[in-house]
Structure 1
Amino acid sequence: MYENKKFAQNKDHTVQLSDKQLQTVGVTTTMIQNRNMVKLVRLNGKAEIAPSHMSSVSSIMGGHIKSINVISGSHFKKGQVLAVVEDPQFIQLQQDYLVTKAQLESARLNLNRQKDLNTSKASSDKTLQTAQADYSTLNATLKGLEEKLRIIGINARGLSSGNIRSRISIHAPFSGFVSKITVNNGQYINPADTLFELIDPAGLLLELKVFENDVNDIKTGQEIAVYSNENPDLKLNAKIVSVVPSIENGGAAMAVAKLSSAHSEFVKGMYINAEVSISGRNTLGLPNESVVSFENRNYVFEDLGKGSYKMIPVTAGISDDQFTEILKADFLKDKKIVQKGAYSLLMMLKNKAE
């Protein structure tokens, strides 16, 4: 703002306009008035992902990476093949299943035969019990192998000696995007090795700084509008889901918000802005153009009549796109306050001081 000691020493802070100046400036006046003001709080922060929506993907069984079908940052759909792994143990597991399945069928036939023989006392109870034990053991083994095949993505019920394969596919457990790829083609991986780090956009959280002056206005459940620096015209709806009440060293608390619906515009680590409209309150205010600023203080001009105007210091509160709240404004209730032309009067008063 302007630095002018002579202006500061001009104690009457009045300016006199000629008829010609009045016509040029086009001064209009208004009165202090009751307004239902809505406070707009602006916040900023970063987009983060809840730990519950970040997943590390590995292979159930070890093997060599034959292909990788995604790149870092790419989007994928639930069930999409992310990578293909190859290893002879996959063949062995399928063979074991088919052999066990054949043995189980043989054990089933033997058990039925032993039941018939035991009924006619042609075989002993011990022989029947052995047949039952063999059948139960093979049945449990087959169920276990079937479950292992299911886990690696092979449908055991459709398996035959003609469709045994040496490769398995790693499928996406949900829809999202790839945060990191930690393997490459040809690499041998163990079951404990992480292949991909995946992010589910449904877990996107917006961590917003709330300065001390606004802490009491920010509540859980409030609807907010959020937008990025890159695309400020695209405003999405979100809701505050929690507020950390403690004030940090930087003079700000933290509010956590969640988008009403997932949107590809927002990604982890992006800087974002938010606007929160606080419920209105009935207060005294003036049109925005009536309030002028000089050296970090706010002023209005009172119309004294006959082209004479006096600058009066005021304390401004909240503001919206039309009005500014004036705190402790009772002393202005009966005064005519300049609306159009207030800034021009400020410039004239400054020039007068100089």
Structure 2
Amino acid sequence: MKKIIIILSIGSFVLSCSKKENTTEEPAFEVSANQNEITLTDAQMKSVGIQTSLLSEQEISSKITLNGNIDVPPQGMASVSSPSGGYIKSAKFMPGNFVNKGDVLAILEDPNLVQLQQDYLLAKSNFGYAEKDYQRQKDLNQSQASSDKAMQMAHTEAKNQNISINALAERLRILGVNPDKITPQSIQRSVALRAPISGYITRVNVNIGQYVSPVDKLFEIVNTQDTHLVLKAFEKDLSHLKIGQKVYAYANQNPDKKYTASIILIGKNFDSDRSVPVHCHFVGGQPDLVPGSFMNADVEANAQNSLSVPDDAVLTWEGKQYIFEEIKPKTFRMVPVTIGNSENGYTEISGDLTKLMNKKFVTKGAYNLLMGLKNVEE
């Protein structure tokens, strides 16, 4: 093999055994003509601290990359509609405003509300009369001064009026009116539409004077304190997912900022794009993320034993990964490899491993070899 004699620079390999005021020139080492093999002297081996070993089996978790978005569960979203038709008298909130549960969003005027209160008061009055009539018919029947039929009719009328009272009272409660406080002097023509949950208003579809019906969505509210991550998983990944797995989510705009979550629910049916929704809860508090934001996520799949080398043994040169093989004592060859996942200080070597079995590789000092191999003076 054709050899080129290379003189090491003083900074490349420094003998650790002594420090002298007058620096002496290091012994030369040899680099192959194609610059993929390097041979060291005994002194250089000791100075660099080269260590080698076979590929070792390490338990390394595989990672699955999925994407999805920030979502809110059903209990964290609310649409506000009017329980009856009417005209908007006032509305003051805009999208982006925060509201607390019970805050008045709008005032609705409804002529039918007046009629409903009137019917309720009349039903109460009629029930009072019907109940007294039933008691009178009952007393007369006991003295045989009234027939059973008359007593039964009076009883039925009292029951019917009581049913009307209860039904009208519930209709009033739906509108937000307390029936117990209604008197002939307190009949009202407007009703307040209140926020059913605390959160941020995301949509407003009303203006003053507008007529609205029960089918119209007037406001939409989202509680951002209960957001979660919904990922899309396809068939090839489903078998690797399970409840409780850790998820590390990140946005495209800031991939270095990770949000930790865990899988809490895996869907049981496929969507139109043949994906299954995977629901994840964030760990350690809610992130400041807007619902609907697109997210990427790495999911820790089941750990398995993989042939690996220490992280420091893997080098990147011109976009490719390499490790150094010890082909004979003090001589090393740079070998291209395909790497997998990394965990606990070890990196998985994947692909065809048949040529790598039972061979020793540099586990310490690989970077120094790369610098000596590539930073040469011809």
- With the shorter chain as reference, the TM-score category is 0.7 to 0.9
Instruction: Report how far residue 335 of structure 1 moved.
Output: 4.7
Q: Is the 8 A contact 1:100 1:138 kept in 2?
A: yes
CA deviation profile, 1:179-201 (whole Å, cap 9, x unmatched): 32211233221222221234466
Amino acid corresponding to residue 66 of structure 2 in structure 1:
L
Unaligned segments of structure 1, at least 5 residues: 1-8
Note the aligned Cα RMSD (angstroms).
4.0
Q: Does 1:218 align with 2:230?
A: no
1:31 and 1:12 map into 2 onto residues whose CA distance is 23
Higher mean displacement: 139-148 or 129-138: 129-138
Q: Which amino acid aligns with 2:324?
A: F
Q: Which runs of 5+ in 2 are unaligned?
A: 1-31
What is the alpha-carbon distance in structure 2 between the residues aligned to residue 54 and residue 222 of structure 1? 25
User: Which piece of structure 1 moves more, 155-164 or 229-238?
Assistant: 229-238
1:259 matches 2:281: yes
Go from structure 1 to structure 2 and tell me whether the alpha carbon gap of 1:85 and 1:295 turns closer, same or farther (over 3 Å shift).
Answer: same
d(CA) in 1 for partners of 2:257, 2:300: 17
- For 1:174 and 1:147, the matched residues in 2 are separated by 21
Inter-partner Cα distance in structure 2 for 1:291 and 1:81? 63
Match of 1:242 among 236, 261, 266: 266
Higher helix proportion (structure 1 or 2): 1
| Matching of residues 269-288 of structure 1 within 5 Å | 269-288=292-311
Higher-RCO chain (CA-CA 8 Å, sequence separation at least 6): 1
Of 62, 66, 88, which aligns to 2:89?
A: 66
**How far did 1:336 drift?**
4.6
Shift of 1:322: 1.7
Matched-pair contact (CA < 8 Å) for 1:219–1:243: no
Task: Choose which of 105, 111, 133 in structure 2 pairs with 1:110.
Answer: 133
1:64-105 Cα deviation digits (max 9, x unpaired)? 223335432444444443332222332332222122212211
| Alignment partner of 1:291 out of 314, 331, 335 | 314
Q: Which residue number corresponds to residue 167 of structure 1?
A: 190
Q: TM-score, normalised by structure 1?
A: 0.77
Report SS of the residue matched to 1:153.
coil
Identity %: 35
Q: 1:177 to 1:157 in 2, by over 3 A?
A: same
- Match for 2:174 among 147, 151, 166? 151
How many residue pairs are counted as aligned between the two chains? 342
Go from structure 1 to structure 2 and tell me whether the alpha carbon gap of 1:198 and 1:95 turns closer, same or farther (over 3 Å shift).
same
Q: Show the counterpart of 2:343.
A: 320
Structure 2: distance between partners of 1:282 and 1:297: 24
Q: Does structure 2 retain, via aligned residues, the 8 Å contact 1:27–1:339?
A: no
SS for the counterpart of 1:194 is: coil
**When the two structures are superposed, what TM-score results if normalisation uses the length of structure 2?**
0.73
Question: Which secondary structure state, in structure 1, belongs to the residue aligned with residue 162 of structure 2?
Answer: helix
